[in-house]
Chain A
């Protein structure tokens, strides 16, 4: 198990292209994140927990579906760490597992209303399913 999680850490770092040790722990990402209140783990924690290899709680957390991919943290980080890319890499680690899609096709109909743009549906699927 431990070995797998270690693999997960390397995989997340490789996939995201982010070097978490560049983080100087200033917290600007979390100070700017619009989804902060809805997240159990916040952007700076994602970076720190990946850096220290504490991946499991992230994989189990709903936080990975709350990130809006707004890239405010990526743009404002003074050290160029790009936390949003870490969040996305963790999410992919989860949804790429067998049967782990966050959105199921059967559930789509109930979420639709008259005006919802197609863009919302395709983006949600791209973000939440493999």
Chain B
């Protein structure tokens, strides 16, 4: 039996004006378990707390009920008071007789009556309270960043600068991501490579950062502060520690017709290649799908020309095990396939390109050395048509496009149109738009400059069809302002393809038990207040894996994610919330209902031995809650059909007792 002390606060006249505090404390003194009952002007004051501490000592109290303001106000205060007097802080319950009683009732009789019921309810609960201790777990002071684009790079640099070790896992042979493929960046038009490559070098040279390029995350176990991650390092058939990146092999390799993914297949590379000049790490990689030596053992040219002896045809995929305290997802995006949008003739004409392809064409390091020419015949185009929202804002066509706005297209299209007009004043540039969306600093000014100063023709309307005819592309579109259908004989058509999360994201989300929305974007812990955290503790989100983003937003979010990681890694131990779910293994029937509803992946199943009748041993599958991951929502407790799952601090019995006390 508990020895409960009840403390009724007057809160000056806030409570005392409509609640007869003396009557309340007298009434509650008669409740079962109550051995002491008192009232005081301000319980939260130093004197009030001293009064509680003294009573704890004097009456050997085991539980406390404070009838006062909302627990959202002073629950913490009174818990600390209790703890300082030597009883468990979770043996304190608050009866909210201010916000939920004295402030809303005018009649002292009504107020007093209700306050007594509320106090009785809290006492009923405390009678069933048990001391709770928050679990502690150590923190591995190292972070993993999945994805080496600008988001991953920025997050890694910020974490490393705070003095923590960071590993970047990048599936491609080099870090840099999409930004490395861009030409200029809006709205300032600085060159992407000029601002990105120094950061890539910083990453490479940072003593706290390791890069696992051409690698993938293969498995993740553990929980916040204690993740065990298996990284698969794919065989690149070149020894990274030896290769000097001289590039001789990439010039001598006889297999010349490999589509160059860095230029989106618009030119070719060799079977051994370095994606681009500023690649980090600057190490060659052999493409096993094309290499003659790896396919049929006939070649070996690269090995012969390599003075550093870095080529190793025998290299195998290797698995690396590493421990991390936090994981940042920065898996990025890709433009969607244009295959299903053949009304724009993407598969029928080489001169219909996506914006990312156009970006490569405009880039000095691209397939045309930055000269704007038609991919089909190398001629200079005079009329260019940009089509916005290709696959974005596309409802009712899930197999084709995406329902969301891809956010970045309006701005990069304005950039492309402006740069085209700037470099080639002899061109006619049309942009077909549904809406021009430019909410960003200096964004709308930029778009207006494209239209006003550079003479880009912005047409409100959509392109309906593109038809290659001879060496022209006949573009049929509507001009909604003029209420006309217009036909343009264009030389090039550029499609602003919708963007989607990288295909690798889903399998990573599964490994991390991080949740995703229907579009495969990672969901944040709170859409407004916790935008860079996943609901799963210890998992953080950086960049376009969470939603379409431009570079400034990505960098800002990357920094925010880093700050959250630093906050976590700075702790030596993590103190959990003790009000977590726990399963009574004797009652658990192993049905997995709880596991399915848990939003945090905190529940797992283990096979456990139990003593059966006649000295037999039974192995049963039972649920186990990881208290470090559980956030204490209680969804599992209701899902559990056998009543094995319960929530500490809000146990079924406690809530039942409260219900009974109210209904008495």
Contact = CB atoms under 8 A, between A and B. Distances in A.
B485 A30 contact: yes
A13 interface: no
A96 interface: no
Given A25-B434, A31-B477, A44-B478, A76 B464 contact: yes
Nearest to A32: B464
Given A31-B478, A33-B485, A44-B480, A26 B464 contact: no
Contacts of A24: 393, 434
Contacts of A14: none
A125 interface: no
Interface in A27-83: 27-33, 36-37, 42, 44-45, 72, 76-80
Contacts of B421: none
Given A26-B434, A36-B485, A78-B389, A31 B476 contact: yes
Nearest to B391: A78
Interface string B438-463: 00000000000000000000001111
Contacts of A77: 396
B395 A25 contact: no
A32 B466 CA distance: 9
B50 interface: no
Interface in B52-87: none
B350 interface: no
A28 B478 contact: yes
B464 A33 contact: yes
Contacts of B483: 42, 45
A104 interface: no
B396 to A, nearest CB: 3
Contacts of A33: 464, 485
B343 interface: yes
Contacts of A45: 483
Contacts of A72: 464-465
A108 B389 CA distance: 46
A42 B485 contact: yes
Contact of B396 (A28, A32, A42, A80): A80
B395 A76 contact: no
Contact of B462 (A22, A31, A80): A31
A27 B464 CA distance: 8
Interface string A70-108: 001000111110000000000000000000000000000
A33 B343 CA distance: 12
Contacts of A27: 434, 460-462, 477-480
A40 to B, nearest CB: 11
Contact of B395 (A30, A32, A79): A79
Contact of A32 (B389, B394, B476): B476
Q: Which of A27, A28, A29, A80 has the most CB of B within 10 A?
A: A27
Q: Which of B394, B434, B462 has the most CB of A within 10 A?
A: B462
Contacts of B663: none
B1 interface: no
Given A31-B462, A31-B477, A44-B478, A26 B395 contact: no
Nearest to A45: B483
Most buried by B among A25, A31, A33: A31
Contacts of A28: 462-464, 478
Nearest to A43: B478
B464 A78 contact: no
B401 interface: yes
Nearest to B460: A27
Nearest to B486: A31
Contacts of A30: 461, 464, 478, 480, 485
B397 interface: yes
Contacts of B460: 27
Interface centre among A28, A72, A76, A79 (most CB of B within 10 A): A28
B485 A37 contact: yes
Contacts of B343: 32, 76
A25 B481 CA distance: 11
B463 A31 contact: yes
Nearest to B481: A27
Contacts of B461: 26-27, 30-31
Given A31-B464, A31-B478, A26 B389 contact: yes
Contacts of B397: 78, 80
A76 B460 CA distance: 17
Contacts of B462: 26-28, 31
A79 B396 contact: yes
A33 B461 CA distance: 13
A22 B393 CA distance: 12
A78 B478 contact: no
Contacts of B395: 22, 78-80
A38 B435 CA distance: 27
Contacts of B480: 25, 27, 30, 44
Contacts of B477: 27, 31
A68 B485 CA distance: 16
A24 B394 CA distance: 10
Interface in B475-514: 476-480, 483, 485
A30 B476 CA distance: 9
Contacts of A80: 395-397
A119 to B, nearest CB: 25
A44 B432 CA distance: 16
A45 B485 CA distance: 13
A76 B342 CA distance: 10
Nearest to B463: A31
B399 to A, nearest CB: 12
A78 B463 contact: no
Given A28-B478, A32-B343, A32-B465, A78 B485 contact: no
B343, B393, B397, B478 interface centre (most CB from chain A within 10 Å): B478
B241 to A, nearest CB: 51
22 contacts: A24-B434, A26-B389, A27-B461, A27-B477, A27-B478, A28-B463, A28-B464, A30-B464, A30-B485, A31-B461, A31-B465, A32-B343, A32-B465, A33-B464, A36-B485, A44-B478, A78-B389, A78-B395, A78-B401, A79-B395, A80-B395, A80-B396
Given A29-B464, A30-B461, A78-B397, 15 more contacts: A24-B393, A27-B462, A27-B478, A27-B479, A28-B464, A30-B464, A31-B463, A33-B464, A36-B478, A42-B485, A45-B483, A76-B464, A77-B396, A78-B393, A80-B395
- Lowest 8 A-B CB distances belong to which pairs? A32-B464, A80-B396, A31-B464, A31-B478, A28-B462, A27-B478, A27-B461, A30-B478
